[in-house]
Structure 1
């Protein structure tokens, strides 16, 4: 049996309608998630570089742009159970360059930076409030890692009734297997998938 047959039989993989206004959410495209000696590796750098023209496209349209960073207190007092699984996350403090957005995607004035301590950009943050205040009903999601914070953000986006689209060549992971599996899973259950070259298709 073809692995997609059961999904088709169960009517999975349907297309989500295009939103009225789409924001770009850049999940953890920070130095530490590009550097293979910290949390990067695989295709994370290539995904971040592929995001440059996409970011320009959103800027030229005047659409909302949100960057996320994982940021913990210097004393680790806000580190939760996630840090037991991945203890080096505690190193991502406000002043650590590893927690800063990569220089070639540097946020501009008027663009939002959401600091988080959990995988999802929505969990215990003001991201939902920011998007609703900007009359956003859809999100284009890029970032790292595909199987981690990107996927968690996409699941919470659709759970919050935002219409998610994952830009497949602008998300990266340290290993190809989890990257591919997560893209497949998100396309079947949680998001539309397009490439950066197809970005015009997501705008109303």
Structure 2
């Protein structure tokens, strides 16, 4: 029995489907996670490029859009155990260019920027309340890295009873093996998987009254 058959036998991978009110979340597509000399590499630049038309589609339909950045205090006062595991994270301060969203996806007025100090976009942030206030039931997730902050965010999203949808060509990792493994695992346990073209098609088909 191959690996996929084991999951199918155990009834993993059931579809969640889109709900009535999706939001787009762009996780840590910041300069430092594109630059292979800092935290980037692998297929992350490709994932950023694939996210550009998806972001345009979400804006065109007036959907809620949020971005995350990892941001630590200049003096490291809020740097916890995670920064012992990956000490260069402390370089991501408010003013550091590496901590800012890449220019191709630059946030616009009215779009949320979530500053976080942990992997998940939900942990210790106001993202859950913002999503509830916006009436969101489906979280369309892009970003970096697939095996790290994207996965942590997706698990917390489903824990909060949002429907996570991972856009497979819009998430990236510095190494392709963990990227592929985590795409598979999230699809079996925590999220639906769609391509950017599929997500854009869904956004464009939404009733106008739901995107106002």
TM-score, normalisation: structure 1: 0.98
Equivalent residue for 1:184?
184
Q: Distance in 2 between matches of 1:18 and 1:41?
A: 31
Q: Distance in 2 between matches of 1:146 and 1:10?
A: 25
Kindly indicate whether residue 182 of structure 2 is the aligned counterpart of residue 197 of structure 1. Answer: no
What CA deviation, in whole Å up to 9, does each residue of 1:148-173 have, x standing for no partner? Answer: 00000000000000000000000000
1:3-18 map, 5 Å = 3-18=3-18
Equivalent residue for 2:86?
86
Give the C-alpha shift of residue 185 in structure 1.
0.1
Q: Distance in 2 between matches of 1:150 and 1:34?
A: 15
Equivalent residue for 2:57?
57
Q: What is the aligned-residue RMSD (CA, Å)?
A: 0.9
Kindly indicate whether residue 136 of structure 2 is the aligned counterpart of residue 124 of structure 1. Answer: no
Give the C-alpha shift of residue 73 in structure 1.
0.1
Equivalent residue for 2:74?
74
Q: Secondary structure at the match of 1:63?
A: coil
Q: Distance in 2 between matches of 1:181 and 1:84?
A: 25
Q: Secondary structure at the match of 2:20?
A: coil
Q: Give unmatched runs, 5+ long, in structure 2.
A: 207-212
Equivalent residue for 1:21?
21
Q: Distance in 2 between matches of 1:116 and 1:151?
A: 15
What CA deviation, in whole Å up to 9, does each residue of 1:123-144 have, x standing for no partner? Answer: 0000001101111011000000
What CA deviation, in whole Å up to 9, does each residue of 1:49-91 have, x standing for no partner? Answer: 1100000000000000000000000000000100010000000
Q: Distance in 2 between matches of 1:146 and 1:121?
A: 13
Give the C-alpha shift of residue 201 in structure 1.
3.5
Q: Distance in 2 between matches of 1:76 and 1:153?
A: 23
Equivalent residue for 1:165?
165
- Structure 1 consecutive aligned stretches of length 4 or more whose deviation exceeds 2 Å: 200-204
Equivalent residue for 2:38?
38
Give the C-alpha shift of residue 20 in structure 1.
1.0
Equivalent residue for 1:96?
96
Q: Distance in 2 between matches of 1:114 and 1:129?
A: 12
Give the C-alpha shift of residue 17 in structure 1.
2.7
Equivalent residue for 2:139?
139
Q: Distance in 2 between matches of 1:87 and 1:52?
A: 30
Q: Give unmatched runs, 5+ long, in structure 1.
A: none
Q: Secondary structure at the match of 1:4?
A: helix
